[in-house]
Structure 1
């Protein structure tokens, strides 16, 4: 003899557990607690949206950080790989940030031109541009020949300007919200 009340209760319990699990899966990216940037800013938050994803070779890290901090000073949210927190998986965090980024900035130099990981980031940034509503800004750190899809865009040329306030203002206007420049 089958106890139908027990069968219905078991089926209800399974349905409740499944509903809770799928509800969690649907919102898990929004439930993660913010991870503060080491310097106390909120730009390294998982699940955050960013105004700019700055891609760079390790040799250009100082310039990338100068650009990123300059954009932050102008009220923009910036993702920089250097700011990924301890214990996190760099590629996973970069992938999340790329999905949550409005604009891409890639520093071009002799060091960056041969890097396979930067070619992947370049391709992902361009894919977002073609998906709509996003901008890709090539930044020349050194005089190099840009790849074809970067070449068709006007780059921010730092080769003759160095670390200038005008360059930061120009980049902030390109990737920021209205009134992002000083």
Structure 2
């Protein structure tokens, strides 16, 4: 291997390690969360407060699916849940990655809306990685929500998902009620 190859390999390795470290920082469990959970449970506060979270649920989605997501978010909020999604948490001038990381870290649970647009989105793929890692390491609920025909990634496919493909209005309401019940438990 020539010198340029060695240098590029070293740079790639360092970049990969730095990326993994910052992804871990975004989803690492906080020590304060356990103490907050005990305190909130004894005072009868909601789930977000019980796990030391600011939001009940973080919703990841592709912007092409915004109209559909707004309908779901409205129903979740109507049930008293505090929903974090980009349009709610971002303010002009915010650093996207830091604000999203903070919202993921400050959410009790998460939802990822799967559609062809979200599966193709590099940004949603990064959120998926952080959400899944947090779900596994911090034992937080991760709910895949399928709104169009897509192949779920391997880890998401291990979860019971909410299927909204070709549902009637009555069935839609029933599936939303199941999501709400899961997020409130």
**TM class by shorter-chain length?**
0.5 to 0.7
Deviations 1:69-125 (A, max 9, x none): 111100111101122233333322211101111111000011111111111100101
Using the alignment, how far apart are the partners of 1:60 and 1:162 within structure 2? 19
Distance (Å, rounded) in 2 between the aligned partners of 1:139 and 1:174: 13
- 1:104 paired residue number: 110
SS of the residue 1:139 aligns to: strand
2:112 partner SS: strand
2:181 maps to 173
Aligned to 2:55: 50
- Structure with the greater alpha carbon radius of gyration: 1
After TM superposition, the score normalised by the length of structure 2 is: 0.66
Cα deviation digits, residues 47-69 of structure 1 (max 9, x gap): 96111100000111111111111
Equivalent residue number for residue 5 of structure 2: none
Which residue number corresponds to residue 77 of structure 2? 72
Kept in 1: contact 2:53–2:108 (CA 8 A): no
**Structure-1-length-normalised TM-score:** 0.67
Whichever structure has more helix as a proportion of its residues is 2
Alpha-carbon contact 1:105-1:137 (below 8 Å) kept: yes
What SS class does the counterpart of residue 103 from structure 1 fall into?
strand
1:121-143 CA-partner distances (Å, limit 9, x unpaired): 00101111111330110000101
Count matched residues.
131
RMSD: 1.8
Deviates more, 1:157-166 or 1:142-151: 157-166
Question: 1-side partners of 2:128 and 2:75: how far apart?
Answer: 22
